Structure 1
Amino acid sequence: MQVPIRHLTGHLAWTVHGHVWAIWRVHPVSYLHSSPQAKSELHSATTTLLKQLSGEPMLLSLCASSGAADIVEAMIDGVDLDTHPEWAEVAEACLDWLCELDLTERTHWLLMPLPAEKPTLELKAIAAAAAASLSRLLGFTPPVPHEHEVQGYQAKADRVESQMTGGPAVRPATPAEVLWMLGHSVHRGVAGPLLADAEQADPAVGASRVRGGRLRGPALTGLGQVRIVEGGLPDGNNEQSGRSSPLRRRWLQVESPDGVSYQAFLALAEMPSVFAFPGSEWLAAVDALPVPVDWCSRLRIVSNTAAEAASRRKARELSAQVDEYDGETAGVPQALVDAAADLDDERGRLQASRTEVEVQSSTVLCVWGEDPQEVEQRAEVVRTSIAAAEYQVVRPTGGQRQLFEAMLPGSPLPHLLKEFTQYQLAADYAMAMPWASTALGDANGALLGMNLDGGTARPVLLDLAGAPRQDASASIGAVGELGAGKSVLLKAIIISLIDRGGRVIAVDRTAMGEWGRFAAAAAPDRHQLIRADGGGDDLCLDPLRVFAPEIGARYAKSYLTLQLGVPAMSPEGLAIAQAVDRTAAADRPHMSRVIDELKLIAAEYAGDRADQISETADLLRAVEADELGRMVFGDGPPLNLGSDFAVFQTAGLSLPKAEIFDSAYHMARQPLETLIGRAVLYLVAAVAREVAFSDPGQFTAVALDECHWLTSSTEGQDLALELVRDGRKHGAGALLGSHDPADFGSDVIRGLLANRFLLRHRDASLAAHGLEFLGLDPADRGLLDLVTTDLSPVSDQARKGEAIMLDTRRRIGRLSVTVPPVPRITESIFTTPGHPATPPQE
């Protein structure tokens, strides 16, 4: 095989055919689940970029293989595995599982041959390339580009790139990436070079440099040590393929030092006569096929003036053909009528916008397999899938090698492919959405799940701890109905944070203590369980013993005034402050001693003042005697703020209803257990706030599943707002889960949640609320059907854990949540009320 490139420098490629190509990597935009406005904006941006191109550019989309080791490397990046062996255990288990999958990622590239400054110089370059080829055949050293030529083409490429505004972002490709593209072409179906290695390679690898005024570099001919056979069979076995005739073997056998594979190429032969947008995104839809597919679109950009002139000539030809049917009783054929109407429409659009251009495209798709049977099956999947949308693709017999070469960077357009040219305006071609993406998640972090929008296996990573370092919020919100998988999602995120060195505080509202059981099983020896409902003799929330004296005194004063419903600046509030200060200054401060100090202070006064302070002490004695109050005034060991996983169980904690907070009359008449519950909740919030904001170097998450009961209180909503609003500065975030986004609290809280998840909701109204939470159209029938019927269908237990995700880059996609195959996690994460833990389904 002849390698079409002879020199690489930066993102410029000198070809054996005499042309110089500039190569860019395109960063596509999330599209599939975007709002109608976002789709329209991407279509406009794509159209704008196409109009800015010239000559004969090449759009190349390659399905790159991802190594399981690279995914795990991204999982452990920044984590000290010696200090956190639990994460090493998770990474090793995930590696074993990922190695069984065919992992891929889609990449997009834009290649453009750069014109010479003058036609004579272009002819000279072609002649020089021919001379170089001849020199190699004769054993002579071929001529090499001069330094001023390199500088001139680099300046030209820079000008072209500066004009690519308003569309998807592009960046210059590196020589290593270009070499990967060549290597990928011959290694489809066998183990070959990984794009991740090329991305991390030294920019100088494979590049030529200017030395002595000339461009000199490594020879690239070694990349062409490949044997390509049209219709080749394994070991010459005609029976194995079932296609003994060479005319029926429409594939290439590609043999390289790394193995033998089979590639089949399909050319787009026919398109629908009418396009609708949205609905014509056929190139974007290729990414959703259940087999990996590479595609290449060879374009020829025709200027507005030239395209309009050509349309006039065609119109005259059609008019002459119509005249031939004068007197014909059957009339003019409908095909001529339709062609004339299409031409009129094209001319009208060309005249209406002088920036409009004609795009002549020839598109090739490639599939591959380990043997002829597999490649045949995959080619048929592509053909039938595309045919369903009224696009016809064919596999030219005897032309497979030409199509293979058409997809190589820097190769000329083969004559065969010109026969499949499609004629469209830029706005029409852009409807195919060549630069749409289904990518989701972060570059590093924990393995959250698998992307469901791409037809092949693509992991989704989540790095909440890294979000603050990128000036992004680390808070998330998860919405879904009962049993949809919110708790499993939050638990999977939480245990990954803990195993990677973070801290988590969770509030467990379940009667069965679901989160406490999960903490004990998934993080043994690293958790604390606090019965905030007073249901046991566990840890104590005495602020004077939990916090440092100064901080503890502050929280104690606020807790006591809130518990009694007295203003901080009232006589009772001042007495409480005085008693707390005295107690905090003692050798062994204790909340029960605050009551003793109040009695001593009362003795220092006489009359009504003494009675008020004494009554305040008596009220606190009543709280102390209550079962709920003992967790604040009792003698149990104080909470350790340094634990990795603290779970507050609040199932028996009663709170006033939301509407009660606005009425002082009704608040004063609440039951004692409700008033104590509200005050205890304040202490829970105080602990969460203090731990979350104490050490910005260690990420802390506060998990509030079924948070509606918490955010209905002033204290709970203040905690959520403070975590979401200020968490980024302190390396902290809130993990909120509920059935309705409205339960998260104010619009500010909802708006600042960076990562958002929507799980199954069979109720159409709640599903619409969830879609609106993601920024999607709540009235979109297709999206509503997706959420109500096609996310984790109840009838299909194998599809548990499906969700729609909005990530920090505002990309939207579907994923299936993956639970790490580690027994301590799988045996506890699926606990449901009244049932024992069950392992995940294979």
Structure 2
Amino acid sequence: MAFRRDLQPTAAIRGNLQFTTAGLVTATYFVNPLGYGLRRASDKHDVKLVHHSLINNLPSGSLLLGIQAKLNTLDVLNKMVEGVDLDECEDYANEVVASYERVRAIMPQTRIYLLSIPVGSSGQGMSALSRVWRGSTATIDATALARAELEVFDEKAKEILSQIGSEFEPTPVPASLFQWLWEHHLSRGSSGDPVAPTQAGALDDATAAVFRSAALDEGAQADSNRRVRPSFAPVIKVVQTDFAYRPSYQTMLTPNSFPYGGMNFPGGSEFLNVLESMDDVTVDWGIRVSTRTAEQVLKGNELNLRRLGEQMDQRDQEISFAQNTLAAKARLLSEYNNHFEVNNGESEVSFTTVIAIGSSSRETTLDAVNTLKRRYRRFKIELTAPVGAQVDLWSMLIPGSEARRAYDDFAHIVPSDMWAGFVPFTTSAIGDDSGPVIGLNLMSGHFEPIHFGIMEAALHDLSASFAVTGELGSGKSYFLKLIAVLVHDMGGQFLAIDRSQVGEWEHFARAIDNAVVIDLAEPKVSLDPLRLFDTRVAGERALDSILPLLDLSPTSGAGAAASSLLSSRGIAEHRIRSLLDLFEVARRLRDQPGDHDYGDLAARLGTIVDRVPVLFDPTLPPLHLDAAATVVRSHKLALPTAEELTTPHLYHRLPLTKRLGTALYELVGIAAREAFLTDNGRFGLLVGDEAHHFTQTTVGAAVTSDFSRDGRKHLAAIGLASHDPATDFQGAAHNLIPNRFVFRQRDETLARNSLEWLGVDTAEAEFLVQVLREHTSPPVGPGRTVPEERRGEMFMRDALNRIGRGKVLGPARPDRAAAITSTPTSSAKALRGPSRALS
């Protein structure tokens, strides 16, 4: 066992430029992976095209890396508080503090993507630096390098990046990233593995780095009292001199063969996705690529074909299998040659893939190796852990490493369009870059927190509105209350319409200081639009509510009379200050000779005056939406079904009670629009659990559209819930609400509707229908209850149209978690995290 410092090639660093001991200069960048997950095949083909452009323009010797690392708990909390004044939001500060232990217990991880490209040679001058470095423990300070020389390398890097394109948003790494990456490789999977630098400023921008020494013991011979040839044990024991008590056991795997018949895209070629969801180990991957142009390939093919022809001529009189083999090779070579002749812009890629597995014990690492081999066999890919080449392959994941024989021994050659089907730079991440943590990502295999920056969306010119669907008891109401309480705790306000008979929102509101609860059947405030809104718009708002309620058309006789009275001139002339005034004026004007329209209007108003005190009682104070939390109970209102709202003949036959319920429902939405879509500096959220009343009526659709379109301008959003998105989430709710959540749907039709509304092509991904119906928070056991560790599972589409699968966690504070349980009379239980996590 020997100490290996020569595997670290860095001689000097300046920013993201690395000067190696061999004289090579590389530039390294963070890569922003492209959203993949559950998107449609057409979207995935777009991702493939971007990778095709990438590989065709990468210089030979480029290195692509996918590094798995632990998320820093403090980074997660910092993202939670971004843009929030904790001095003003004590409740949210308590939520963040409570989240610390939960996030730390879950131990979320992430994958960091890096691209290292050669940008030139440093010439003979680096040889001296190399000799000096090999006798030292640190790199040479790159500040001594000439600025003109650095600018040449920077310009070369920019030229390469401009050819690749901007889709991956390459960002130069800080100099200290090289030290972080080296320490990660030495500690892969062990307790000393450093946390991921996932936030800007997590690594300082140093110009020098100190690289630790380590012993790379191939075969882990030190663990045995007898001498074992390294070739018999494909494992490396990495021991750092200063941390000998926490070694890392690592194995390097590489594909030995790919399917002979090729790999279908999408769905069959993304072989790096198999690496996720590995427990108790850290799995990194690296791909070293070299390319040849189509012209070079065609010339080489001509030479190879000529040689095959000569061999076949020499054996034309021979009867053997060799003749058939030569003919098969000639046929394959012809097909390969034809591919490059008919496909413009194609190139040939020679690539070596290394999959590095590490943990704190030899047994755990080797078990994971066997697990991965079994996974890859199902894809007809054979993995091998080449004995005697483990250290060489280990070095390939270090940017700037010299080419070694093992890289060529395990290289594969494919056309660039086939290589692009591997789509290595993709992610299953969902959610926003910052904001409160609402759940965990279940698709990536790393349990990354899902951030939902509902109050920060406006700052990024995105809509914060969201919609939820799912069957009864699937978690819709829980989720709505979770978002509402987070908005409240972060200094915003919300208005929720409570249709439940048990008053679940009222029960929830009681846990919030100074919350206002309004019962429309026993009102203590007035929803009279003439008293509620500014005089400039009051008449128009009253007409929007009164005419449908009275079954009047704006151009009918009584409708025209109401329009005339509620115009600005009519309101001023007749001193109409309330709907009761409107009724009195209509009664007075009906006695005028020859004018029957006012009589018709007065008669229609007379049927509801005494029934609806919330509209006609002038002694009630008008509703003012200045409370942090307002809950409007509408459980005693008769409301039409979605079918009655969308079927013309059923709508015209609606009884008065249902028309009245719809009018009041709409008035609440209008009141929220007038209060929240103003620049008052406070975020406002309107929550509606009966989506069809906001999307199927003219007034409701206008409210939904206004919140969806203009909410980002005025710090406001709408949150809607429904059982059937195919009927309820149409128009603005379908086109303008970006954030969508789908909870369990056991009905097949509703499950398909929900996934298609989410953006999933169920014809391409039929299995997802079954996942939603049977494997999303599934009820089990005699009582058909959902185990607590499975509650809150859902599908999500975020503001960037990324689709994935997650689990809602609920508030970290126990009192908040208890307050948002659905049934006020039941014992409060918070949703918990996955089996290894604490809620």
Give the structure-2-normalised TM-score: 0.86
| Change in CA separation of 1:557 and 1:583 when aligned onto 2, cut-off 3 Å | farther
Aligned with residue 623 of structure 1, among 600, 604, 608: 608
Three-state SS of the structure 2 residue aligned to 1:444 is: strand
Aligned to 2:191: 190
Q: Tell me by how many angstroms 1:51 deviates.
A: 1.0
Aligned to 1:466: 456
Q: Tell me by how many angstroms 1:96 deviates.
A: 0.7
Equivalent runs, 1:345-356 vs 2, <5 Å: 345-353=335-343, 355-356=345-346
Q: Tell me by how many angstroms 1:531 deviates.
A: 1.9
CA contact (8 A) 2:691 2:729 kept: no
Q: Tell me by how many angstroms 1:595 deviates.
A: 4.8
Cα distance in 2 for partners of 1:528, 1:749 equals 28
Runs of 5+ unmatched residues, structure 2: 781-785, 834-839
Whether 1:283 aligns to 2:272 is yes
Equivalent runs, 1:577-726 vs 2, <5 Å: 581=571, 592=580, 595=583, 601-602=588-589, 606-607=592-593, 620-626=605-611, 628-630=612-614, 632-633=616-617, 635-636=619-620, 638-655=622-639, 670-695=654-679, 697-726=681-710
Aligned to 1:173: 173
Aligned to 1:296: 286
Cα distance in 2 for partners of 1:142, 1:666 equals 79
Aligned to 1:446: 436
CA contact (8 A) 2:686 2:718 kept: yes
Cα distance in 2 for partners of 1:77, 1:832 equals 33
Runs of 5+ unmatched residues, structure 1: 208-217
Cα distance in 2 for partners of 1:337, 1:517 equals 80
Aligned to 2:153: 153
- Percent identity of paired positions between Structure 1 and Structure 2: 26
Cα distance in 1 for partners of 2:692, 2:581 equals 35
CA contact (8 A) 2:294 2:345 kept: yes
Aligned to 1:223: 211
Superposition RMSD in Å: 3.7
Output the amino acid matched with 2:767. Answer: G
CA contact (8 A) 1:28 1:108 kept: yes
Whether 1:825 aligns to 2:816 is yes
Cα distance in 1 for partners of 2:408, 2:827 equals 65
Deviations 1:225-260 (A, max 9, x none): 444433448xx6649xx9988643612223264662
| Change in CA separation of 1:323 and 1:840 when aligned onto 2, cut-off 3 Å | same
Cα distance in 2 for partners of 1:574, 1:362 equals 79
Aligned to 2:63: 58
Aligned with residue 332 of structure 2, among 342, 367, 390: 342
Aligned with residue 254 of structure 2, among 256, 267, 285: 267
Q: Relative to structure 2, which stretch is displaced further, 329-338 or 179-188?
A: 329-338
Output the amino acid matched with 1:454. Answer: S
Aligned with residue 749 of structure 1, among 716, 723, 733: 733
Aligned to 2:745: 761
CA contact (8 A) 1:180 1:194 kept: no
Q: Tell me by how many angstroms 1:14 deviates.
A: 0.9
Cα distance in 2 for partners of 1:75, 1:243 equals 53
Aligned to 1:214: none
CA contact (8 A) 1:453 1:813 kept: yes
CA contact (8 A) 2:64 2:114 kept: yes
Aligned with residue 29 of structure 1, among 19, 34, 39: 34
Q: Tell me by how many angstroms 1:662 deviates.
A: 9.5
CA contact (8 A) 1:187 1:256 kept: no
Q: Tell me by how many angstroms 1:109 deviates.
A: 1.4
Aligned to 1:789: 774
Aligned with residue 364 of structure 1, among 337, 354, 363: 354
Equivalent runs, 1:561-576 vs 2, <5 Å: 561-565=547-551, 567=554, 570-575=560-565
Equivalent runs, 1:20-419 vs 2, <5 Å: 20-116=25-121, 122=123, 124=124, 127-128=127-128, 130-133=130-133, 145-165=145-165, 168-188=168-188, 189-196=190-197, 199-200=200-201, 205-207=205-207, 218=208, 220=209, 222-232=210-220, 238=224, 247-248=232-233, 250-255=235-240, 257=242, 260-262=246-248, 263-275=250-262, 276-278=264-266, 279-290=268-279, 291-318=281-308, 331-332=321-322, 338-353=328-343, 355-419=345-409
Three-state SS of the structure 2 residue aligned to 1:791 is: coil
Equivalent runs, 1:528-539 vs 2, <5 Å: 528-532=516-520, 534=521, 536-539=522-525
Cα distance in 1 for partners of 2:330, 2:654 equals 81
Cα distance in 2 for partners of 1:691, 1:343 equals 72
Three-state SS of the structure 2 residue aligned to 1:623 is: coil
Q: Tell me by how many angstroms 1:469 deviates.
A: 1.5
Cα distance in 2 for partners of 1:664, 1:424 equals 61
Q: Tell me by how many angstroms 1:761 deviates.
A: 3.0
Aligned to 2:836: none
CA contact (8 A) 2:468 2:740 kept: yes
Number of residue pairs matched? 809
Aligned to 1:6: 11
Output the amino acid matched with 1:825. Answer: R
Cα distance in 2 for partners of 1:52, 1:327 equals 47
Aligned with residue 495 of structure 1, among 457, 478, 485: 485
CA contact (8 A) 2:467 2:719 kept: yes
Cα distance in 2 for partners of 1:485, 1:318 equals 67
Cα distance in 1 for partners of 2:651, 2:752 equals 35
Three-state SS of the structure 1 residue aligned to 2:85 is: coil
Q: Tell me by how many angstroms 1:655 deviates.
A: 4.0
Q: Tell me by how many angstroms 1:451 deviates.
A: 1.0
Aligned to 2:783: none
CA contact (8 A) 1:62 1:293 kept: yes
Cα distance in 1 for partners of 2:366, 2:51 equals 33
Cα distance in 1 for partners of 2:614, 2:344 equals 80
Cα distance in 1 for partners of 2:69, 2:616 equals 58
Q: Tell me by how many angstroms 1:369 deviates.
A: 1.4
Output the amino acid matched with 1:720. Answer: T
Cα distance in 1 for partners of 2:319, 2:485 equals 79
Cα distance in 2 for partners of 1:693, 1:767 equals 34
Q: Tell me by how many angstroms 1:672 deviates.
A: 3.1
| Change in CA separation of 1:340 and 1:467 when aligned onto 2, cut-off 3 Å | same
CA contact (8 A) 1:473 1:728 kept: yes
| Change in CA separation of 1:769 and 1:462 when aligned onto 2, cut-off 3 Å | same
Q: Relative to structure 2, which stretch is displaced further, 244-253 or 279-288?
A: 244-253
CA contact (8 A) 1:49 1:165 kept: yes
Three-state SS of the structure 2 residue aligned to 1:703 is: strand
Output the amino acid matched with 1:224. Answer: R
Output the amino acid matched with 2:518. Answer: I
Aligned to 1:815: 806
Cα distance in 1 for partners of 2:24, 2:637 equals 76
Q: Tell me by how many angstroms 1:443 deviates.
A: 0.8
Aligned to 1:210: none
Q: Tell me by how many angstroms 1:296 deviates.
A: 0.8
Three-state SS of the structure 2 residue aligned to 1:223 is: coil
